[in-house]
């Protein structure tokens, strides 16, 4: 089997599986907020995990807030910034943001804020010239900026550091959706100087339903979930201590895999070039932009991506056609529409997303499989 949908969700890493088997045997299992011995021991394990996550992510201990995942983190940041905002009314997002950002922004848009969507180039990078112009025209009225670090569909890396610098100069809070960035390439939160970043455990090989909100100044966080004041009042509810421990295991494991990035990038580029040589009409989305080493977004205009996906699945190869949030819709995704892709390309995309530890020969196997599939489907090409 070849699993190539890591941008959608990563399987539990082997390190996490091994950790959990030992953890289930030795315990403890208790409420980490209880004052008895088992509670204190459980809390200590979770706080050790927080320290390990902080080390890998280049953050201070107190900047790590455990939660259920990036979607909750994103909602918490919007809630924090906009709940008490009276004077500034503009929210800036981009045309390629995940629905967790888009839908949250428009929720506040229905409550008096103005959502401005930054255009992107045909190569999938946000248009910095337009961003600069908006800042020049209306910086004093911008309540927040929410632009991602790397796109979940294309793998294109955004100029988030430049965006952050502009936000700092104009005193604008910046939320950077780093869900697809963290774990796939090195990231240091303090060095980035970003106000807020997020990640989800299930993208990293940790347990589903876990995540981290990184906050430059955690004291500013306005709790979205009030509860009993856990996470120093930043996020109520009894913590998922086992899940939080797996975050530390997964992140520490991935950090060791960053040395694989050059070889994986080279092999991915060879695979893409071989596909284009064999099938000149093939389109690699974001081909000329900086991309994550693990992601290829490929389309043969006129061949339906879901048909390719089904053929691959029959060979025990698992990919997706866009993001998991829109994979069941046989239409051009909003990301590709923002990039100006035509429907024959948009309906034909297949996303191949591996992990940093994936064997390099997966690309050889994918090339052989796709060559046979495209050759077969070209005979019945319908649009």
Task: Please report, in tens digits, the pLDDT of each residue of the chain (383 residues total).
Answer: 999 999 999 999 999 999 999 999 999 999 999 999 999 999 999 999 999 999 999 999 999 999 999 999 999 999 999 998 989 999 999 999 999 999 999 999 999 999 999 999 999 999 999 999 999 999 999 999 999 999 999 999 999 999 999 999 999 999 999 999 999 999 999 999 999 999 999 999 999 999 999 999 999 999 999 999 999 999 999 999 999 999 999 999 999 999 999 999 999 999 999 999 999 999 999 999 999 999 999 999 999 999 999 999 999 999 999 644 444 556 899 999 999 999 999 999 999 999 999 999 999 999 999 999 999 999 886 55
* Residues paired with 353 in a beta bridge: 5, 295
Beta strands 90-94; 114-118: pairing state = parallel
Q: Rounded to whole angstroms, how far apart are CA atoms 354 and 3?
A: 7
pLDDT of residue 327: 46
Q: Rounded to whole angstroms, how far apart are CA atoms 29 and 206?
A: 19
Helix axes 128-138, 160-169, angle to 10 degrees: 10
Q: Is the pTM of this model over 0.85?
A: yes
In this structure, the number of other CB atoms found within 10 A of the CB of residue 64 comes to 25
Q: Rounded to whole angstroms, how far apart are CA atoms 314 and 306?
A: 12
Q: Rounded to whole angstroms, how far apart are CA atoms 181 and 179?
A: 6
Report how far apart, in Å, the C-alpha atoms of 48 and of each of 17, 22, 41, 127, 296 are. Answer: 19, 17, 11, 41, 36
In this structure, the number of other CB atoms found within 10 A of the CB of residue 2 comes to 20
pLDDT of residue 381: 67
CA angle 320, 312, 291 (to 5 degrees): 45
Closest CA to 179 of 160, 139, 157, 151: 151
pLDDT of residue 331: 80
pLDDT of residue 242: 98
* Phi, psi dihedrals of residue 342, rounded to the nearest 5°: -75, 160
CA angle 244, 247, 250 (to 5 degrees): 155
Ordered domains of the chain (ranges, CATH): 2-10+258-378 (3.90.1150.10), 14-255 (3.40.640.10)
pLDDT of residue 324: 46
Q: Rounded to whole angstroms, how far apart are CA atoms 84 and 287?
A: 42
């Amino acid at each position: 089997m070849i699993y190539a949908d890591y941008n959608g969700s990563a399987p539990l890493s082997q390190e996490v599986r091994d950790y959990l088997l030992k953890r289930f045997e030795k315990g403890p299992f208790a409420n980490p907020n209880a004052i008895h011995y088992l509670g204190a021991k459980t809390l200590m394990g979770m706080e050790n995990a927080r320290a390990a996550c902080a080390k890998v992510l280049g953050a201070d201990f107190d900047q790590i807030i455990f939660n259920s995942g990036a979607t909750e983190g994103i909602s918490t940041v919007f809630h924090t910034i906009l709940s008490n905002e009276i004077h500034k009314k503009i929210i800036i997002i981009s045309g390629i943001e995940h629905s967790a950002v888009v839908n949250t922004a428009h929720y506040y848009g229905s409550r008096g804020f103005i959502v401005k969507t930054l255009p992107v180039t045909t190569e999938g990078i946000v248009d910095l010239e337009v961003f600069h112009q908006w800042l020049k025209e209306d910086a004093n009225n911008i309540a927040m900026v929410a632009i991602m670090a790397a796109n979940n569909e294309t793998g294109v890396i955004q100029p988030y550091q430049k965006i952050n610098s502009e936000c700092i100069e104009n005193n604008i809070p910046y939320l950077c959706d780093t869900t697809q960035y963290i774990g796939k390439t090195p990231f240091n939160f303090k060095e980035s100087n970003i106000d807020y970043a997020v990640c989800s455990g299930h993208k990293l090989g940790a347990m589903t339903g876990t995540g981290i909100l990184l906050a430059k100044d955690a004291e500013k966080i306005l709790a979205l979930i009030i509860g009993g004041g856990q996470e120093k009042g930043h996020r109520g509810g009894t913590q998922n201590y086992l899940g939080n421990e797996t975050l530390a295991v997964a992140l520490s494991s991935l950090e060791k895999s960053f040395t694989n990035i050059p070889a994986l990038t080279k092999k991915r580029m060879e695979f893409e070039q071989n596909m284009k040589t064999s099938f000149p009409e093939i389109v690699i989305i974001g081909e000329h932009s900086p991309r994550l080493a693990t992601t290829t977004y490929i389309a043969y205009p006129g061949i339906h991506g879901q048909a390719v996906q089904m053929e691959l699945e029959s060979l025990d190869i698992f990919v997706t056609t866009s993001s998991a949030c829109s994979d069941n819709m046989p239409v051009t995704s909003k990301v590709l529409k923002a990039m100006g892709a035509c429907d024959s390309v948009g309906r034909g995309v297949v996303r191949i997303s591996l992990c940093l530890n994936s064997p390099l020969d997966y690309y050889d196997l994918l090339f052989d499989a796709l060559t046979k599939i495209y050759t077969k489907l070209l005979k019945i090409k319908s649009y």
